[in-house]
Amino acid sequence: VFMNSITTDFTASPMQFVDSRGVFLASRNGTFNLMFQNPSEEPIFYLCVVHAQSSAVVWSANRVYAMSESDEFLLNRTGSVIQTSAGRILWSAKGTDVGSLEMRDDGNLVMSDLSQVPVWQSFDYPSDTLLLGQPLVPGVRLVSNAADDNYSLGEYEVSLTPTDLALRWGVPRLELQTYWTMSTDSMAINFQSTGALSIAYAALDQSGLNLYSSASSSSLVLQIPVTVAVGDKTVLRRAVIEPSGQFQVLSFASGRWLPDFDAVENECLLPAACGRLGVCGGLSNSPGIQCSCPGGFQIVNHSDSSQGCKAPNAPTCNSNYKDLLLQNYIGFVRMGDGLDYFAHAFQSPIKTSAMEDCEQMCLKNCSCAAFFYVNASASCFQHGFVGTMTRSSTGADQAYLKVFLSAAQKDSASRLFPIVFGLTGAVVFIVVAGLGLILYWYRKKITRPSSKTASLNPNEEDDEGLLSIPGLPTRYSYADLRTATGNFSQKIGSGGFGVVYEGTLPDQTKVA
């Protein structure tokens, strides 16, 4: 293992430093190491700066392309590079007349020229961690690891806005959703009595996490104070964005890292606490969170609720979108009422006169995958994707997800459907058909007595049926006929229309 620095024409590979567990360069006092780190069971490696005592990784070089055990790290006059045996470059840091690479005791990896002037340093290219004395400037981000055992780029970032420090989640070129800002944190102390100032950089020191308006340390704008352990004024400290999206400030004491500050106090407000389209709620009698899915949605993995919920087939933003929209094949399923979303606390809504306006705006925007509408304020929020939601205290928010519609649904006047739209339609049809049959049977029963009822009640008369129509023969009731024929006593014949009886009408007219 080399101490403090290495010079040019240096080559190293993970296979070469197996005996030292990947370490090939240590800082002068041994606080930090430069090494090949293997975070998983797979044979992949990352060039990392690691805190020696705790093995905490504070910087990673090749986060886009991992190394194999035979790939090499080289330091030459034009800079440092990681390349495969075939010469494919996985990562590089360029310089001119490079002379050395130094692992410093503050965790900064510095490449200098032949005159010992720094030409490149890892502090300017952070990964997921900010160390003491390391500035975070506009345009530079901390990006989380994809997972604890995967150092590739994750979905969360820490970056400066013109007036603040923010945590954001998502895809940089699609949508970044803010879920925390330093200025809105309950612990933040504002040192400026005037309006918002432009932020020059953020830095971590022994007093806490700070925002400055200029290069001068006297230009402190905001601070998250962190208590220093009694009797230890030089505690080692770092700020890190975790794979979960949590942003922490930690101090190293008694051989371990202890959290001094968590940016997101309510775990349900982490963007993917319950995965995409999940609904997060706390348990009243136990720590932790409880994940569920909106009505009609199914959980992806019952053993890991953080994987979120299954969604219906959604349209993609491509050249066919407008045609599908014109043919009414695109609509929305209702995720439910009373669902709130973390990003709305940091996002300006679109003011609309009605929910239908919000719906139409989302339909016309192919990048809009879902919308939320708040009735009380007539506020419309649109998103390219949706993470974890929470239950709203007001219960007034409505949430809809964009989906493909079936051939039957596309002919509907509305583009809004419940998530169980297929089942709902079938149930409605069955209920309506059933009610119709019951009504038909009931009316038939009361208007047409059965043969059994009629035979048991030969004396009943249907008075409503005895209508007298001018020009037609007179119609007689059953009682009139029985009187005229002497109770059907004198049979005079029979034919195709039945038995013929002789009878006498009240005016003494003989009839048959």
Q: Which fold has domain 279-416?
A: Hepatocyte Growth Factor (3.50.4)
User: Which residue's structure tokens are 């101490």?
Assistant: 3
Mean pLDDT of 396-409: 83
Burial 263-291, CB ≥16 within 10 A → b, else e: bbeebbbbbbbbbbbbbbeeeeeeeebeb
Q: Give me Rg for the CA atoms of the chain.
A: 40
Distances (CA, A) of 380 to 181, 350, 383: 22, 5, 10
pLDDT of amino acid 13:
97
pLDDT of amino acid 84:
96
Whether residue 422 contacts residue 331, with contact meaning beta carbons closer than 8 Å, is answered with no
Structure tokens at 437: 């049959």
pLDDT of amino acid 416:
62
pLDDT over 90, % of the chain: 61
d(CA 157, CA 144) in angstroms, rounded, equals 6
Whether residue 123 contacts residue 146, with contact meaning beta carbons closer than 8 Å, is answered with no
Bigger pLDDT: 452 vs 182: 182
Task: Report which listed range, 23-37, 219-233, 309-323, is most confident.
Answer: 23-37
Residue 483's pLDDT band (cuts 50, 70, 90): confident
At 247, which helix (H) or strand (E)? strand 247-253
Whether residue 402 contacts residue 332, with contact meaning beta carbons closer than 8 Å, is answered with yes
Mean pLDDT of 298-318: 89
Residue 439's pLDDT band (cuts 50, 70, 90): low
Average pLDDT along the chain: 84
Mean pLDDT of 284-299: 79
Query: Residue 163 half-sphere exposure, CB side, CA atoms within 13 Å?
Result: 8
User: Which residue's structure tokens are 């969360």?
Assistant: 156
> What would the pLDDT profile of 311-362 be if each residue is shown by its tens digit?
888 888 888 999 988 888 899 999 988 899 999 999 999 988 899 999 999 9
pLDDT of amino acid 454:
31
Residue 424's pLDDT band (cuts 50, 70, 90): very low
Same fold, 1-125 and 126-265: yes
CATH of domain 126-265: 2.90.10.10
Whether residue 427 contacts residue 343, with contact meaning beta carbons closer than 8 Å, is answered with no
pLDDT of amino acid 440:
52
Distances (CA, A) of 123 to 98, 201, 508: 18, 13, 128
Asked whether residue 446 carries a pLDDT value surpassing 50, the answer given is: no
Domain ranges of the chain: 1-125, 126-265, 279-416, 420-458, 472-512
Whether residue 243 contacts residue 144, with contact meaning beta carbons closer than 8 Å, is answered with yes
Q: What are phi and psi of 406, to 5 degrees?
A: -75, 170
Task: Report which listed range, 75-79, 231-235, 291-295, 498-502, is most confident.
Answer: 75-79
Bigger pLDDT: 199 vs 449: 199
Mean pLDDT of 101-119: 98
Asked whether residue 94 carries a pLDDT value surpassing 80, the answer given is: yes
Beta bridge partners of 3: 26
pLDDT of amino acid 422:
37
Mean pLDDT of 32-53: 97
Asked whether residue 176 carries a pLDDT value surpassing 60, the answer given is: yes
Asked whether residue 455 carries a pLDDT value surpassing 50, the answer given is: no
Whether residue 152 contacts residue 143, with contact meaning beta carbons closer than 8 Å, is answered with no
pLDDT over 70, % of the chain: 77
Q: What pTM did the predictor assign?
A: 0.78
> What would the pLDDT profile of 234-271 be if each residue is shown by its tens digit?
689 999 999 999 999 999 988 899 999 999 999 999 99
The closest alpha carbon to 276, from 306, 245, 256, belongs to 306
Bigger pLDDT: 269 vs 435: 269
Q: Which residues contact 276 (CB under 8 A, 6 or more apart)?
A: 308, 309, 311, 385, 386, 387, 388
DSSP readout, 286-307? Answer: SSSEEEE--TT-EES-TT-GGG
Asked whether residue 22 carries a pLDDT value surpassing 50, the answer given is: yes
d(CA 101, CA 113) in angstroms, rounded, equals 9
Residue 194's pLDDT band (cuts 50, 70, 90): low
Whether residue 239 contacts residue 248, with contact meaning beta carbons closer than 8 Å, is answered with yes
The closest alpha carbon to 164, from 247, 228, 101, 221, belongs to 221
The closest alpha carbon to 202, from 126, 105, 270, 104, belongs to 126
pLDDT of amino acid 254:
84
Bigger pLDDT: 368 vs 441: 368
* 1-125: CATH, from 3.30.360.10, 2.90.10.30, 1.20.1440.80, 2.50.20.10: 2.90.10.30
d(CA 419, CA 400) in angstroms, rounded, equals 9
Mean pLDDT of 437-443: 53
d(CA 38, CA 303) in angstroms, rounded, equals 27
